[in-house]
């Protein structure tokens, strides 16, 4: 369901410098956060991040990664996987300087229907359901490239057709603001979403077809608890950058060069 853009070139593009293996283009069309500076230029991310947490208890797994100093932002990504049910993806961003916008992307295969803060993607009698935070500006688009042209032409994946679909959730936060983007994803053989997402401040609740286990996990500035038929995730309103997490220097041209 959720796919990457590959590292080839856009369909019909011949210039080697336009390949997605080039880090000036690489951030685009991935399932990641895009940071645009005050001038509207896309900043390229570093080739690494820090792993802050990797915990499992019963059907719950919590993973956290972070980048401090990705341009004028500190970014924490938290993934809560509910085995057999779906996963919750949280992106917390502390905005430390001026940005024109942030984009959180998802790339997928199938036919996409958007309804407010929810999306359904269908593939020949199977469905993926995604629910996300209200308040973001939403943009949908599609694309194809050499890598996917080859995959579709070979019939290697017969469950969907070209092109790849893309969802952008767009926010334009002010300097000093902290934001949290949340998306709940589940897939199966029902056109009806099996899980429901509710967001109240820094508390996120998931209800629906969940495991009956009662377990809890603690991460960096976040906790996840499965109990009484619901998953509750609580996050710090502004995540704290650990003292031992290296901050990328803004003057380092390797990571601050604009795309």
What's residue 22's pLDDT? Answer: 53
pLDDT in tens, 173-209: 999 999 999 999 999 999 999 999 999 989 999 999 9
- Binned at pLDDT 50, 70 and 90, residue 101 comes out as very high
Percent of the chain with pLDDT over 70: 87
What's residue 20's pLDDT? Answer: 55
Mean pLDDT for the chain overall: 88
Residue 89, classed as helix, strand or coil, is strand
- What's phi and psi for 229, nearest 5 deg? 75, 15
Q: In what order do the strands lie in the sheet with 195-200?
A: 195-200, 203-208, 230-235, 222-227, 215-218
What's residue 146's pLDDT? Answer: 78
215 pLDDT above the threshold of 50: yes
163: preceding bond cis by omega (within 30 degrees): yes
254 pLDDT above the threshold of 60: no
Strands 111-115 and 137-143: unpaired
44 pLDDT above the threshold of 90: no
């Amino acid at each position: 369901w959720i796919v990457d853009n590959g590292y080839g070139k856009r369909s019909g593009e011949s210039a080697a410098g336009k390949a997605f293996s080039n880090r000036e283009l690489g951030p685009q069309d991935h399932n990641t956060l895009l940071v645009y500076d005050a001038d509207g230029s896309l900043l390229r991310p570093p080739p690494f991040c820090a792993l802050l947490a990797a915990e499992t208890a019963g059907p719950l797994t919590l993973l956290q990664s972070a980048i401090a100093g990705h341009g004028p932002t500190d970014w924490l990504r938290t993934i809560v996987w509910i085995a057999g049910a779906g996963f919750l993806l949280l992106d917390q961003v502390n905005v430390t300087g001026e940005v024109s916008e942030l984009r959180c992307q998802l790339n997928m295969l199938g036919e996409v229907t958007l309804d407010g803060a929810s999306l359904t993607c269908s593939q020949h009698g199977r469905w993926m359901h995604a629910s996300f935070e209200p308040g973001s500006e939403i943009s949908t688009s599609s694309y194809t490239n050499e890598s996917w042209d080859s995959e579709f032409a070979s019939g290697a994946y017969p469950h969907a057709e070209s092109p790849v679909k893309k969802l952008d959730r767009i926010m334009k936060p002010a300097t000093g603001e902290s934001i949290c983007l949340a998306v709940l994803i589940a897939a199966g053989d029902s056109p009806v979403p099996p899980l429901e997402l509710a967001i109240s401040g820094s508390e996120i609740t998931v209800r629906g077809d969940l495991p009956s286990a009662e377990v809890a996990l603690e991460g960096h500035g976040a906790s996840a608890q499965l109990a009484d038929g619901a998953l509750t995730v609580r996050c710090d309103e502004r995540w704290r950058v650990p003292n031992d997490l290296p901050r990328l220097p803004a003057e380092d041209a390797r990571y601050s060069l604009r795309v």
